[in-house]
Structure 1
Amino acid sequence: MIEIDDVGRMTAGDECGKFVRIEELPDDPPSYLILIAEDPEFLDGCGDHWVENREDLDRFFTEARWEVEWSNRR
């Protein structure tokens, strides 16, 4: 399950070992910003991706073969 506004560590797939956080943007319907970094504070090696909707977010994770261990520290 993809968590929104939580930090996760990628345990498999493209960019394994990096950290990810998904932000839901206030569009109608919502779009999503996918933040990626080398560290859980998102200070080093940062990058981002944008997807138009939840379906695209799910597809993005599937295509990248990401498995994420979420911290649940929202």
Structure 2
Amino acid sequence: MIEIGKVGVIESGDDVGFQVKVIDDSESTGGLLILTGKNLSDPNVEAFDSWVSNEEELECYFEESNWIIKWL
């Protein structure tokens, strides 16, 4: 299950070792933001973002990335 608003560590798939966080951004953009980076709690570390329009697309994004996440 994909956790919204929680940080997880990517244990398998693309970007192994990176952290991931999904943010509900429906009020601003109408969708969900997917943040990835080596340490999302450090504002000085480079992070990347992607956007999907709904939870179905979110599931597909995670599947395409072959992610297994350990939620913290």
TM-score (normalizing by structure 2): 0.88
Query: Which residue is 2:46 aligned to?
Result: 45
Runs of 4+ in 1 over 6 A off after TM superposition: none
Q: Structure 2 regions of 5+ residues with no counterpart? A: none
AA matched with 2:4:
I
Query: Which residue is 1:69 aligned to?
Result: 70
How many residues align? The count is 69
Query: Which residue is 2:21 aligned to?
Result: 21
The structure that is strand-richer by fraction is 2
TM-score (normalizing by structure 1): 0.86
CA contact (8 A) 2:35 2:49 kept: yes
Percent identity of paired positions between Structure 1 and Structure 2: 33
CA contact (8 A) 2:36 2:48 kept: yes
